[in-house]
Structure 1
Amino acid sequence: MKLVVQVKLLPDSGQVAALEDTLRTANYAACRLSERAQANPRRCGRTALQRDHYRDVKALGLSAQPALHVIRKVADAYTLRSANLRAGNYGPASGDRYRRVAERPIRFRPNAAQPFDDRCLSWQHDAGTVSIWTTRGRLKDLRFTGSPDQLKTLQLYRQGESDLVYRDGMWFLYATCDIPEGEPIDPQGWVGVDLGIVNIATTSGGYRAAGRGLNRHRGQKRRLRTKLQAKGTKSAKRVLKRQRRKETRRATDINHVISKSIVVEAQRTGHGIGLEDLTGIRERARLRKPQRTTLHSWAFAQLGTFIEYKARQRGVPVVFVDPHDTSRMCSACRYVDKNNRVSQAKFRCRSCGVVAHADVNASHNIAAEAAVVWERGAESTAPAPA
């Protein structure tokens, strides 16, 4: 199972200058190569670009391996763009947006991430340093830090490339780790997980993670951003810059805590986990304008990914089920009626009269559907985490 571990670099002023120059040179070369790939779209694959432009890329100040990584980065970007164009993600071929995307070369930011392999980057775990190639020579004794769990995972399971990333004035390395999966268990039952906004997650086992605190935090940050953007002064812009990604980090931390609680409980009781497949819900949902911001800031996909990869580490099976009617169906008699859902929190069956919390009722329906899917031998439709 592939996971990405993030470690923070602690460069001094001289090392910062070398890292900045490396990213700037690599991305300048990528932009130049991108223009040539755009001019000859039939020759924008990895092999063709390397055969046609390898020497020119090296001449811009890169050694052999970084030049190859620049070529692969450009080729992969054009492959992804072609796939998005074919899938209609930029609208119909006759549309203005489609033409703008298709007719312009892909641009790379001066500080965009750059991959490094083991020939250009080596790790000294005992010393807590890395040795990395730069345009100003090899940097040795570049210190890095991270949480103890991350550093242990990095030392035991790192494989493949690592990306040098510059973000918010800090330097990071994103390293790919191949972590072994846990021994699969034979589930003795299923835990259904209902995901929502008012309650982030509600399980059929009785666990409930309320979203009141996170929603209040999002509202405060949203109002603060609106106020600062309207003010528009230099000091307001400095505060906006400091506030960047705080809301996202808070939501990510909460999702990690919730997902770990759910997976640990499922492992302890020998249960599998049933989740709703909510792919495309933002496009399907029809909401009033004030509710759209809340829906689009809902990190349900991230929470589902966290639950899945943590479950795979522990051998807990995860099944994704169709969410249709899970909130309208009675978990006791299976009667379906949209009027069963009296309010956001209250469920009352029109057939048998059962009264329950709406999210708890939905979680029991998800658990029952997960058991059916598992018995049929169906596999999860969700992609494995990168």
Structure 2
Amino acid sequence: MNGPRRHFGVTWTNAMVIDVKIVVQVKLQPTPEQVSALETTLHAVNKAANDVSRAGFDAHGLKGSVKQLRSLHYARLKDRGLGAQAAQHVIKRVADAYTTLRGNIRNGNLGKPGSKRRVKAASKPVEFRENAAHTYDDRCLSWRYDMRTVSIWTVHGRMRNVTFTGSERDLKTLVDHRQGESDLLFRDGKWFIIATCDVPEEPQCEPVEGIGVDRGINNLATTSDAANYSGRRLNRYRRWQAKKKTEIQAKNTRSAARLLKKRAKREARHAAHMNHKIAKDVVAVAQRTGRGIALEELGGIRERVTVRRDQRATQSSWPFAQLGDYIAYKAQRVGVPMIEVDAHYTSQHCPLCGHTERANRPNRDVFSCRRCGLAGPADVVAGVNVRDRARSAWVFVNMPDPTG
């Protein structure tokens, strides 16, 4: 068992350890003078990024590369008082933003060719908010873990002894595993540094079986083991939030707009908390039983699936992808293999006889095969189908190549 193996679409080996990239957020506690310097710096680099973005868009459209932007703007940014590394990071941020935009257009995330949203995105330069996060590397940001301070570059020069704080767990991860770049972030009146950490993952196990996970709205997740994570309480909470949102919107004042923004962030945090809990439970079961995890591939589901008008807001607002991302990185950290499989007809396909028909699912909650009579909870059957498709993918990956 010396060579790599592929299980559920993931390479496994008992000799190689791969790092998992996670981020750790620490809160800065700057003095008023330090706050002023940080604000000035963030405004300056984002204004410079907007200038580079507009000039690059006029010269190259959406296709400006780092090399092209650097040749045009590096010297100008230095003349504006930005340090060498700050200028490089501004240029790279702009180039990365256009790379992301091109990828979204290519993958159809902004609609079909000719759609209003896609045309609007491609017809103007990328803009950066005044307080958008700025990237720092080890040349312009250094850490004193024992003193819990950082030394950071600003447009007014190097600023030392900026104190920071965080949870003991996060600070330990920061000390042990921080690598690469960090981001300076201003959010809700507070200053943060988001640091990248490379945490060694556990060697991936050789799974004896898989756990299929079906994601939904009424049931947030249902596994092939019949474990069900109901969304009833969450949906009740979100309906209450929607009612309050309507009441606040009716006031149409600036304070109402601020309150709406605050409530939206609270709801997003609540959804993230729920997804974290579900992902933690699913990965823990897979790790304890030595199994891999199979998820439905839900990319573009909002464009593929048509729902009633009264369900549109619910479908479009729940972060399906976030749950998948949480399961993926938690599984990677503990060495549990994971794969995404085709999601088509998982709720209409009979895992016993293979018959697929819309009538197999007479309502949202029940599956009943018209051919063999197999019946059960529809979401559990979907989870079993997801697991079985992962099995097929595993067999396909390990089949000998007929061409030799």
Q: How does 1:363-378 map to 2 (within 5 A)?
A: 363-377=383-397
Deviates more, 1:70-79 or 1:364-373: 70-79
Alpha carbons of structure 1 residues 86 and 252: separation in structure 2 relative to 1, 3 Å: closer
Q: Which amino acid counterpart does residue 13 of structure 1 have in structure 2?
A: P
Matches of 1:92 and 1:274, distance apart in 2: 29
Question: Between the two proteins, what is the percent identity of the paired residues?
Answer: 48
CA contact (8 A) 2:222 2:228 kept: yes
3-state SS of the aligned residue for 2:195? strand
Matches of 1:92 and 1:242, distance apart in 2: 33
Q: Which amino acid counterpart does residue 96 of structure 2 have in structure 1?
A: D
Paired position in structure 2 for 1:382: none
Q: Which amino acid counterpart does residue 108 of structure 1 have in structure 2?
A: F
Instruction: Verify: 1:11 aligned to 2:30, yes or no.
Output: yes
Alpha carbons of structure 1 residues 299 and 238: separation in structure 2 relative to 1, 3 Å: closer
Q: Which amino acid counterpart does residue 193 of structure 1 have in structure 2?
A: V
Deviates more, 1:261-270 or 1:142-151: 142-151
Alpha carbons of structure 1 residues 64 and 267: separation in structure 2 relative to 1, 3 Å: same
Report the CA distance between 1:253 and its aligned residue: 0.7
Candidates 39, 44, 47, aligned match of 1:20: 39
Deviates more, 1:97-106 or 1:256-265: 97-106
Report the CA distance between 1:271 and its aligned residue: 0.8
Instruction: Verify: 1:46 aligned to 2:66, yes or no.
Output: yes
Report the CA distance between 1:371 and its aligned residue: 1.4
Number of residues paired by the alignment? 378
Matches of 2:301 and 2:108, distance apart in 1: 18
Paired position in structure 2 for 1:381: none
Deviates more, 1:54-63 or 1:81-90: 81-90
* Structure 1: 5+ residue stretches without partners: 379-386
Candidates 344, 360, 367, aligned match of 1:347: 367
Q: How does 1:221-240 map to 2 (within 5 A)?
A: 221-240=241-260
Candidates 13, 21, 32, aligned match of 1:2: 21
Matches of 1:331 and 1:95, distance apart in 2: 39
Q: How does 1:374-385 map to 2 (within 5 A)?
A: 374-377=394-397
Q: Which amino acid counterpart does residue 33 of structure 1 have in structure 2?
A: V
Matches of 2:284 and 2:111, distance apart in 1: 43
What are the Cα deviations for residues 138-190 of structure 1, in whole angstroms up to 9, with x where unaligned? Answer: 22222222333322222222111111111222222121222222111111111
Report the CA distance between 1:85 and its aligned residue: 5.0
What are the Cα deviations for residues 114-142 of structure 1, in whole angstroms up to 9, with x where unaligned? Answer: 10000111122222222111122322222
How large is the RMSD of aligned CA atoms in angstroms? 2.2
Instruction: Verify: 1:298 aligned to 2:318, yes or no.
Output: yes
Candidates 127, 148, 152, aligned match of 1:128: 148
Matches of 1:228 and 1:300, distance apart in 2: 27
Using structure 2 for the length normalisation, give the TM-score: 0.87
Matches of 1:223 and 1:61, distance apart in 2: 50
CA contact (8 A) 1:49 1:71 kept: yes
Q: How does 1:170-209 map to 2 (within 5 A)?
A: 170-209=190-229
3-state SS of the aligned residue for 1:245? helix
CA contact (8 A) 2:109 2:300 kept: no
CA contact (8 A) 2:276 2:323 kept: yes
Q: Which amino acid counterpart does residue 248 of structure 1 have in structure 2?
A: A
Alpha carbons of structure 1 residues 162 and 294: separation in structure 2 relative to 1, 3 Å: same
Q: Which amino acid counterpart does residue 208 of structure 1 have in structure 2?
A: N
- RCO (CA 8 Å, sep 6+): is it higher in 1 or 2? 2
Paired position in structure 2 for 1:30: 49
Matches of 2:305 and 2:112, distance apart in 1: 23
Report the CA distance between 1:74 and its aligned residue: 1.9
Instruction: Verify: 1:242 aligned to 2:262, yes or no.
Output: yes
Using structure 1 for the length normalisation, give the TM-score: 0.91
3-state SS of the aligned residue for 1:163? strand
Matches of 1:163 and 1:152, distance apart in 2: 19
CA contact (8 A) 1:25 1:61 kept: no
